[in-house]
Amino acid sequence: MAALTISVPAGLLTGQPAAAYVFNDVRIQGAQRIEPATILSYANIARGQNVSAGELNDALQRLQGSGLFETVEITPQGGVLVINVTEYPTINQISFEGNRRIKDEELAQIAQSQPRRVYQPSRAISDARNIAEAYATQGRLAARVDPKIIRRSDNRVDLVFEIREGDVTEIERISFTGNRAFSDRRLRQVLETKQAGILRTFIRADTFAPERIPLDEQLLTDFYRSRGYADFRVQAVAPEIARERDAFYITFNIQEGPRYRFGSVNTVSEIASVDAGPFAAQNRVDRGDIYNPAAIDNTIRRMETVAIQQGLDFVSIEPRVTRNPSNQTLDLTFALTRGPRIFVERIDIEGNTTTLDQVIRRQFNTVEGDPFNPREIRNAAERIRALGYFADAQVESRQGSNQEQVIVDVNVEEQPTGSLSFGASYGVNAGVGLNASLNESNFLGRGQTLGLTISTADGDRAGVVNFVEPYFLGRDLKFGFSARYNETENLNSDYDTRTISIRPSIEFPISANGRLELRYNISKDRLSNVEDDSSIILQDEEGERTTSALGYSYNWDTRLTGLDPLTSYKLRFSQDFAGLGGDVKTVTTTALAGIESNAWREEVTLRAEVEAGALHAYGDYSTWILDRFRGGNRIRGFEPNGIGPRDLSAPNQDGLGGNYFWAARAEAQFPVGLPEEYGITGGLFADVGSVWGLDNTVGSDGTEVDDDMYVRAAVGASIFWTTPIGPLRFNFSKAIRKEDYDEDQNFDLTISTRF
């Protein structure tokens, strides 16, 4: 790169005494593109006036600082000032060499230097620095960018950025000091930052990003405090880079402190006109419970609801905690105090170029004119971030038009919310299949979800259209609509099926942890191509039936409030009443109860579920195969239609399904000794259950089909693998109790589902 050379008489730069100059003329030499008037304007030397040596030096500095000249020389010659300049060349073209990870088009947008403009070394150096930073955001801190010029004729140059991309600067190890209650492995699972593993090509969380460190500190703090460690703090975070700049080593120095339980829990009112009794009834913190800020927050939220119901404004619920280090307890007092009279003047929203204002505003339980509640504003900010529509969302408050007014500022940064994917799938029974899906979680910026999925596999074709409006009629009322088409050909059976259905639904909360769904389903089902060697029961059921059913589901899930970080519970009860038109007249009832808990320093996850269902036909209607329960994957170790009553006199002995089922499942998931960044864990499971009961039990040979309840059981081991395409689960099972005619399955590959 050419250097800038400046020449002036020695006396002007050394500070030697020099007489004042008087110039009657200024002669400019070397200028080609730059107009003399422009050069004179930068020099600003007046003709016929005394000019000191310092003023000549200032003129030299102004010409140099203009960025237009490669060299500048000012020489007084009697009454003439000679300004000799060498202009910077013009950039003929810009090229990039050595780049593979970032395309030329992207790098050209980063560089400020442009073809057919004057070449400036400082700008080229700045461009090289910005390109290196672009590589650093991809985790390539070892990237080097050197600007070079190639001289051409007519004072032109080619500007070339020589790039050495280097390898990804991965996080080779994350370690902790000061942790006693939890292992490094468990704490690494809490962090957003991850160690590099075998999937480092796909997983970008293994590159060091300084902006993630504060988030990791907060995640660790929330993790420990939700488990009773009220004094926990991160003392320091020390990221170190290897000498080769190809790896980071991060150490979190933490202080756990003691684990606290709640001691005495009281509610007092410091407002004479407010009775503490109704507020104390909302307390959900019990003496002896492990300290958890979420439990306190839940109680405060319930008490604030009471204040709203009683029309009490500016009542603040203040949690006062007294530590008792001697017995490691925390005495808690909920104090009802009179808060400051501050109102929300307005809520300003910026940055939402796609998402409508109303989608963001409905995350606030506060509107303009309401009393200002800082905790509610923080909760609204979390709800906005949880939408998944924004790359960043900041919610802050500032003083409004007076001291009693507050303005809430919401600044968001949009991110893509739609996806178009094509892929392949594999099922042990369905074989290899192809699928395509189009999903948009913020349709037209209204917060609506629209999805279309088409899949095909050996003997199975399906298409689904889903639409969800989460705030129907402007309330917490979720409206859903789905249309489904499914067709099977000899899939686990010797017959074909086809189902076309439409289902609208409404879902709404009825408690902090409970939601109720009301739905209507209408479907056209067909059973066809029943083989001649199938049971006479299936042959008699061949044909089409229309189902018109009203139904509801009640779901209760403690994860909605997260009161206990170690244990979660869920309950589901569902009923569908078919017979409002159509051919089918049944009442279908299902119920499920489940629990998930972490044990052994949270290294092992334990899950248990109990599920049951009953199908009752009324009138003169008899159930058919598409109504009945067919096992599915409720009991691992057996094929989807592998258990239940069978017509043993029929040659193919196809499963007939049953009007009743029950299943109990238990499993444990645990580390297997591999680094956690590989995403591989192990598991053991045991399932037990049964499918039984038929309306028509007359078999092919005229004898009764045995439809009694026979218990089946299986045990097995699982491998869980978290991959970029989704969580996979490999099940290896062994049926330990079964009937002779059951169809077991020793291996299964599925998408792993969480509790």
As a three-state string, the secondary structure of 174-216 is EEEECCCCCCHHHHHHHCCCCCCCCCCCCCHHHECCCCHHHHH
Range with the poorest average pLDDT among 162-171, 480-489, 542-551, 685-694: 162-171
pLDDT of residue 167: 78
Where do the DSSP E strands lie in 444-513?
448-457, 460-469, 478-489, 496-509
Closest CA to 751 of 732, 731, 729: 729
pLDDT digits (tens, 9 = 90+) for 283-298: 989 999 999 998 998 8
pLDDT at 69: 84
42-81 residue pLDDT tens: 888 878 788 888 888 888 888 888 878 888 888 888 888 8
The H-or-E segment that residue 56 falls in is: helix 53-65
pLDDT of residue 130: 94
Whether pLDDT at 16 is above 70:
no
Q: Which residues does residue 85 pair with via DSSP β-bridges, in sequence order?
A: 72
CA distance 615 to 601: 43
The predicted-structure confidence for 704-754, as pLDDT tens digits, reads as follows: 999 999 999 999 999 999 876 678 899 999 999 999 999 999 998 876 555
Alpha carbon distance 294, 563 (integer Å): 6
- Mean of pLDDT values over 198-210: 60
On whether the CB atoms of residues 640 and 655 are closer than 8 A, the answer is no
In 206-287, alpha helices (H) = 212-225, 277-280
pLDDT tens for each residue of 427-472: 555 567 788 889 999 999 999 999 999 988 877 899 999 999 999 9
Burial of 558: CB neighbours in 10 Å, binned 0-12, 13-18, 19+: middle
CA angle 747–751–754, rounded 5-degree value? 115
Q: What are phi and psi of 465, to 5 degrees?
A: -120, 125
- Structural Rg of the chain based on CA atoms: 37
* Residue 505: φ, ψ to 5°: -155, 160
- What's residue 163's pLDDT? 94
* Amino acid 754: pLDDT: 56
Q: What is the mean pLDDT of residues 82-105?
A: 90
Residue 172 tokens read as: 């080779």
SS3 labels along 566-589: CEEEEEEEEEEEEEEEECCCEEEE
Which amino acid, one-letter code, is at 592? Answer: L
CB 236 within 8 A of CB 176: no
Above 60 in pLDDT, residue 10? Answer: no
d(CA 638, CA 301): 47
Q: Is it the case that residue 425 has pLDDT exceeding 90? A: no
d(CA 655, CA 633) in angstroms, rounded, equals: 14
Contacts of 281 (CB under 8 A, 6+ apart): none
Map tokens 């090289």 to a residue: 128
Q: How far apart, in whole angstroms, are the C-alpha atoms of residue 8 and residue 101?
A: 48
Distance of CA 320 to the CA centre of its chain: 34
Six token digits for residue 94:
């810009």
Q: Which residues contact 224 (CB under 8 A, 6 or more apart)?
A: 232, 254, 256
- From the list 214, 221, 174, 219, the residue with the least C-alpha distance to 194 is 174
Tokens of 141: 């801190």
Average pLDDT, the chain: 88
pLDDT band at 354 (very low <50, low <70, confident <90, very high): very high
**Non-local CB neighbours of 639 within 8 Å, separated by 6+ positions:** 429, 492, 631, 743, 744, 745
Q: By three-state DSSP, how is residue 37 classified?
A: helix
Query: What is the percent of the chain with per-residue pLDDT over 90, rounded to a whole number?
Result: 60
User: Which residue segments constitute the domains of the chain, with CATH numbers given?
Assistant: 5-87 (3.10.20.310), 90-164 (3.10.20.310), 170-255 (3.10.20.310), 261-338 (3.10.20.310), 343-410 (3.10.20.310), 492-751 (2.40.160.50)
Distance CA 106, CA 581 (A): 61
Three-state SS at 497: strand
Q: Are 15 and 52 in contact (CB under 8 A)?
A: no
- C-alpha 498/C-alpha 453 separation (Å) is 17
Mean pLDDT of 364-383: 88
102: tokens are 């970032």
Band (pLDDT 50/70/90 cuts) for residue 139 is: confident
Question: Which run of H or E residues covers position 519?
Answer: strand 514-528
714 class by beta-carbon count within 10 Å (0-12 exposed, 13-18 middle, 19+ buried): buried
CA angle 587, 590, 595 (to 5 degrees): 170
> Among all chains, which residue has been given the structure tokens 């900041």?
394
* Chain mean position to CA 187: 19
What is the band of 2 on the pLDDT scale with cuts at 50, 70, 90?
very low
pLDDT in tens, 588-621: 999 999 999 998 888 999 999 999 999 999 999 9
Please check the confidence at residue 423 and state whether its pLDDT lies above 70.
Answer: no
Range with the poorest average pLDDT among 320-334, 364-378, 510-524, 566-580: 364-378
CB 235 within 8 A of CB 256: no
Chain centroid to CA 181: 28
Burial 26-65 (b: 16+ CB within 10 A, else e): bebebbeebeeeebeebbebeeeeebebebbbebbeebee
Percent of the chain topping pLDDT 70: 93
What's the count of helices (H) and strands (E) in the chain, helices before strands?
12, 34
Tokens encoding 665: 């499942």
Give the sheet arrangement for strand 69-77, strand by strand.
5-7, 69-77, 80-87, 25-29
Q: How far apart are CA 304 and CA 315, in angstroms?
A: 8
Q: How far apart are CA 255 and CA 430, in angstroms?
A: 52
Going by C-beta distance under 8 Å and a sequence separation of 6 or more, which residues neighbour residue 435?
422, 423, 424, 425, 453, 454, 455, 456
Q: CA-CA distance, 437 to 463, in Å (whole number)?
A: 10
Average pLDDT of the residues in 407-428: 82
Smallest Cα–Cα separation from 263: which of 316, 325, 181, 335? 325
Query: β-strand 418-427 against 69-77: which pairing, if any?
Result: unpaired
Q: How far is CA 436 from the centre of its chain?
A: 22
Q: Are strands 712-723 and 69-77 parallel, antiparallel or unpaired?
A: unpaired
pLDDT at 33: 77
